[in-house]
């Protein structure tokens, strides 16, 4: 069985509000019912109920996202239930400040832009640090956010 994902390092305001845990249970129940109905009822009139459950799943997911923004993120590793907003950072390296502040390494790193693989080698080798690169404006990080609302549903079909 694969190990549960742990978002502790990137989740925003991870404080496991119990209301979100209960809302995830509600989502699990709605999704399970929707999956069962989809497999069994496609050709019969109850298919409309399936469509209603699918809309309910979408509505509950939207509610959970609003709750995350208002109350904080939720993570239950034992049951693999997640309702969290997490951050993602995109690194950007800038040639001009690198050349100004690290002229010794510029020929190895600078082409028309920063050779990220070579620069990562210098970082890995301990010759440079991300903090130093950030201080000189060589490295900036763009942080954005994404939602991850998921629970592992054991399929029985």
Amino acid 26: pLDDT? 92
61 with 77: CB under 8 angstroms? no
Q: Domain segments of the chain: what residues?
A: 18-87+146-151, 95-137
Amino acid 72: pLDDT? 95
27 with 60: CB under 8 angstroms? yes
Per-residue pLDDT of the chain (157 residues; tens, 9 = 90+): 778 889 998 888 999 999 999 999 999 999 998 888 888 888 887 888 888 999 999 999 999 999 999 999 999 999 899 999 988 888 888 888 999 999 999 989 887 778 999 999 999 999 999 999 999 999 998 888 888 887 765 554 4
Amino acid 118: pLDDT? 93
Phi, psi of 139 (to 5 degrees): -120, 130
Amino acid 152: pLDDT? 66
Q: b/e for 18-37, b at 16 or more Cβ within 10 A? A: eebbebbeebbebbbbbbeb
Six-digit token pair at 93?
């390296």
């Amino acid at each position: 069985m694969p190990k549960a994902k742990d978002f502790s390092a990137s989740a925003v305001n991870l404080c496991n509000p119990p209301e979100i845990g209960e809302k995830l249970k509600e989502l699990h129940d709605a999704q399970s019912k929707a999956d069962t109905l989809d497999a069994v009822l496609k050709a019969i009139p109850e298919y409309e109920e399936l469509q209603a459950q699918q809309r309910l799943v979408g509505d509950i997911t939207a509610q959970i996202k609003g709750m995350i923004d208002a109350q904080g993120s939720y993570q239950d590793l034992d049951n693999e239930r997640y309702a969290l907003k997490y951050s993602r950072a995109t690194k950007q390296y800038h040639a001009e400040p690198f050349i100004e502040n690290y002229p010794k390494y510029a020929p190895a790193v600078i082409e028309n832009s920063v050779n990220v693989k070579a620069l990562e080698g210098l970082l890995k080798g301990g010759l440079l640090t991300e903090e130093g690169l950030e201080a000189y404006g060589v490295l900036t990080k763009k942080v954005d956010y994404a939602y991850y609302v998921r629970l592992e549903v054991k399929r029985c079909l």
